[in-house]
Amino acid sequence: MQTSDLKNLNVAIVGAGYAGAAAAKALSLLGADVNVYEQANQIREVGAGIGLRPSTMDRFRQWGVFDAIAKVSSPSDYFEILTATGDPIMKEAWPEIDTFGAKTHLIHRGDFIDALVGVLPEGMVRLGHKLETIEDQGDRSVLTFVNGTTVEADLVVGADGIKSVVRQQLFSDKGPVFSGEHAYRVVISADDAYGMCVDDNLRMYIGRGTKVYFLPLRHRNQVSFDITALCPDSTWAPQVTRDDLLATVKGFDERIANITRDLDMDAVNVRAVYDIDPVDTWHSDSVVLVGDAAHSMLHHQGQGANSAILDAGALADALAQADSVKEALVRYQATRKPVTDELQRISRQGWSEDEVDDVFPGQRPASQQPQA
C-alpha cells in the first residue's frame, strides 16, 4: 500500500497481549493510526518463562526494540532433553541461529509483555475495553465494548486469545479443545534449584506421563519451573495439592522432587491445557486474526509467543507490499497459516499412545487423537 494510504489507515487491535502489542508496534511503524483495546484494567501476564527464537529476535531488531527485550532476557545457545533421572536423550543448538544471527532469548512472560507494551506510544493502549460485539461491514468494521464505547475501523486485528470474541463471532464458533494435560508453572529463586541452574539453556526431563521444563532466567537469578502432566480433569483452573504435584514427578531426579516439595503452592499457576482446532479462514476484507485467536497451540514446541510475533511481522509486511487491505489479508494468511497449522499438529504429538491410553483408557481427548 502507498505510504499515504497507510497513514490514513485506522486500525483497531483487540487485545494487548503478545500478539496485540507486537501488531501495534509493527503497524504503527508503517504509519497507520493504531489503537489497542484491552479488556483488563491493568496489563499483567501470569505464568513463567518462555524462549524467544532467533527469527523473533530478528523481528525485534527490525522494529528497533531488540535492546529492550535483550535487557530483560538471557541469551541461550541450546536446549537439552533428558530422561526423568537426567540421562541425556538429545542436545541441539537452537534452530535459526545461523540464519538470523541472534540467539534464543529466555524471558519471563511478565517482563516480555512489559517490554513490548513499554515501546508503544503513550495512550495507544486503552484498558477496560471488553469486546461485546463486532459487526463486519465489508470495508470497515464496528466494535462495541461492554463499557458502551463504539469504535469504527478500517482494519480490526483480533488478538484476543484462545477465547477470542472476534474469532467466535465471525470465523468459527468452535471453542477451545482440552488437551488432556495440566500445566503447573512457577518461578523460583536459582538459589532454591538444588544446583540445577548451571547455565542459560533450557532442559526438559521426560518421565511417563510427565514432562518437567527447567528454564533458567539468570538475569533475574531465577528459574522457570514447569511440570506438564497428563490428567483427565478438564476444569479450566483445577485445584491441586502438593501431594498431587509430587505424584507427577515420582521417579524423577531427586532434585526435581525436592524443588517440587519446597514450592509455595500459592505461587504455582495451575491450569488445564487447551488449544483450538485449525481455523479455516482468518480474515474478511477488514478483520483479521493473529496469535492465539487464530491458532492457539499446545506448548510442547514452545512456539505460541513466537508465532504471535511472526504473525505481526507478516501482517505488516503484507500491508506494505499489497495494493489494498483486502489483498494484504489474503497474503498474510497464505504466508502464516500453513506454518501454524503444522505447528498445531506437531504440538499435539507430545505423548506416546501408551501414555495417553494409561490416563484415558478408551476415551482419548480430541487433541490426543492420532493425527493424519
- For the chain, domains (ranges, CATH) are 3-73+107-175+278-347 (3.50.50.60)
Helix, strand or coil, per DSSP, at residue 45: coil
Confidence at residue 161, expressed as pLDDT on a 0 to 100 scale: 96
CA 79 to CA 19: how far, in whole Å?
A: 25
CB of 197 within 8 A of CB of 225?
no
State the sign of the Cα–Cα–Cα–Cα dihedral 68, 69, 72, 74. Answer: negative
What's the mean pLDDT when you consider all of the chain? 93
Q: pLDDT per residue over 196-219, tens digit each?
A: 999 999 999 999 999 999 999 999
Question: Residue 363 pLDDT more than 70?
Answer: no
Confidence of residue 274 (pLDDT cuts 50, 70, 90): very high
Grid cell locating 218: 539468570
Residue 330's φ and ψ, nearest 5 degrees, are: -65, -45
CA 140 to chain centre: 28
> Which pLDDT does position 350 carry in this prediction?
84
- pLDDT confidence bin for 26, thresholds 50/70/90: very high
| Percent of the chain clearing pLDDT 70 (strictly above) | 96
Q: Please tell me which residue, 227 or 352, carries the higher pLDDT value.
A: 227
Inform me whether the pLDDT recorded for 187 exceeds 60. yes
* Confidence (pLDDT) at 3: 83
Task: Give the full edge-to-edge strand order of the sheet including 125-126.
Answer: 125-126, 33-37, 10-14, 155-158, 287-289
Residue 249 has pLDDT above 90, yes or no: yes
* Edge-to-edge strand list for the sheet holding 269-275: 88-93, 78-83, 202-207, 210-217, 222-230, 177-189, 269-275
pLDDT of 42 strictly over 90: no
Q: Which pTM was predicted?
A: 0.93
* Predicted local confidence at residue 301, as pLDDT: 85
The pLDDT of residue 357 is above 60: yes
pLDDT at 370: 52
* pLDDT at site 365: 65
Contact call for residues 9 and 23 (beta carbons, < 8 A):
no
Q: Which helix (H) or strand (E) holds 182?
A: strand 177-189
* Res. 353: pLDDT tops 90: no
DSSP 251: T
